Amino acid sequence: MNRYYMDRLVKGIGEAGWDAMLLSPGEELNFLMDFNPTFCERFQGLFVKKDGTMFYICNLLYAGEFRKLLPEEIEIYPWFDGEVMTEVVGRVLHEQKLDGALIGVNSTAQGFNILEIMDKVDVTFKNGKPLLENIRAVKNAQELQYLRESAAIADEVFYETVKFIKRGMTEKEIGDFMCERMVAKGGYAPWVIVGVGENSSYPHYAGTDGVVQERDIVLLDFGCVWKGLYSDTTRTIFVGEPTEHQREVYDLVKRSNEAAEEMVSLGAWIPDIDKRAREVLDEKGYAKTLINRVGHGIGYMIHEQPEIKQSNPGRLEKGNAFSIEPGIYLAGDFGVRIEDIVIINEDGEREILNKTPKDMIII
């Protein structure tokens, strides 16, 4: 159990005026409890009460296994397929003195189960996602150091990948190489987006069949987990001499990235950072092609708070960690993105974790 963050969650439940939080299987439960159970349609979840006590409801199929994995003080209430799930949940909540309770729900709770319970049981569920995000938005010194080390793994693999890429290679071959190298350096749960040619114009491209050819663009978005903390970086490289148009677009994205990062400081107004990145892109009318936020928080999950976007009114705090990743995406043609992880470090200073060059790389 991550006691530090569990204590923060319990405090947050009380401050929200709720009675408990339901943590269904997924990243949040795993982060808090180091427990990653089988996910299926049968209702299950950990209930954390405002007094800090906990209990778990699950199907009988899993009760024996979970008893070995969860701390002894967490009581497990199993329900059998032959029973009505909502009746069991109602009895358990009554026993736990949660009749009429307000209960936060995490992001992976299944809507059909939540709606069925609310329909049949005297309980009201609330959106618990913001609370769960806010308790981990500020990292401590040790976590910031792990973020630095995670970013360093990604940087090392980028340099190796630039030497590895050859004409005729597929996106899958490049991605497999990068994942293997991150694991070899101690990272786990590696992930990679490789977009070649026009595939680079799709921000979250999911294919693997593209083939590197002369005068192609190769967009590499990748990272891994190191001691529980994610890395995430993007670089865009060129195979053969780029066109003047591609040079113009790359220069704009590079300047947009640097301008946004210059806006980062302790207490900076978050919407201004997003706005500044778009102002640079709009020098040539490209701001409209940046169809996503300029950045996202990062830590124990790949996407956390603070989100760097104009609709997120707030100021940067010491311990915040987030991406700055402006891009220009010309659908069906090509795309360019440059992404760094930036923190407000222990001294309240801006620190850019990724050290790989942003000058154009041609292979």
CATH of the domain at 257: 3.90.230.10
- Looking up residue 124, the CATH number of its domain turns out to be 3.40.350.10
Asked if the structure places residue 123 within a domain, the reply is: yes
- Looking at the structure, tell me whether residues 87 and 175 fall in a common domain: no
pLDDT tens digits, 62-118? 999 999 999 999 999 999 999 999 999 999 999 999 999 999 999 999 999 999 999
Write out the residue range of the structural domain in which residue 324 sits. Answer: 141-352
From 134, 159, 194, the end of a domain falls on 134
DSSP annotation of 45 reads E
pLDDT tens digits, 196-239? 999 999 999 999 999 999 999 999 999 999 999 999 999 999 99
- Looking at the structure, tell me whether residues 149 and 112 fall in a common domain: no
- pLDDT class of 295 with cuts at 50, 70, 90: very high
Strand 304-308 relative to strand 20-23: parallel, antiparallel, unpaired?
Answer: unpaired
Contact 217, 349 (CB under 8 A): no
* Alpha carbons 335 and 291: distance in angstroms, whole number: 12
From 70, 101, 134, the end of a domain falls on 134
Mean pLDDT computed over every residue of the chain? 96
pLDDT at 39: 81
Contact 23, 5 (CB under 8 A): no
Residue 27 has pLDDT above 90, yes or no: no
* Alpha carbons 29 and 33: distance in angstroms, whole number: 6
**Structure tokens, 322:** 């987030």
* Alpha carbons 135 and 127: distance in angstroms, whole number: 15
Asked if the structure places residue 225 within a domain, the reply is: yes
Residue 194 has pLDDT above 90, yes or no: yes
- First vs last C-alpha separation in the chain: 47
From 134, 151, 176, the end of a domain falls on 134
pLDDT tens digits, 166-186? 999 999 999 999 999 999 999
pLDDT at 207: 92
Q: In sequence order, what are the residues at sequence separation of 6 or more whose Cβ sits closer than 8 angstroms to the Cβ of residue 143? A: 229, 299, 319
Q: Structurally, how many domains does the chain consist of?
A: 2
Asked if the structure places residue 360 within a domain, the reply is: no
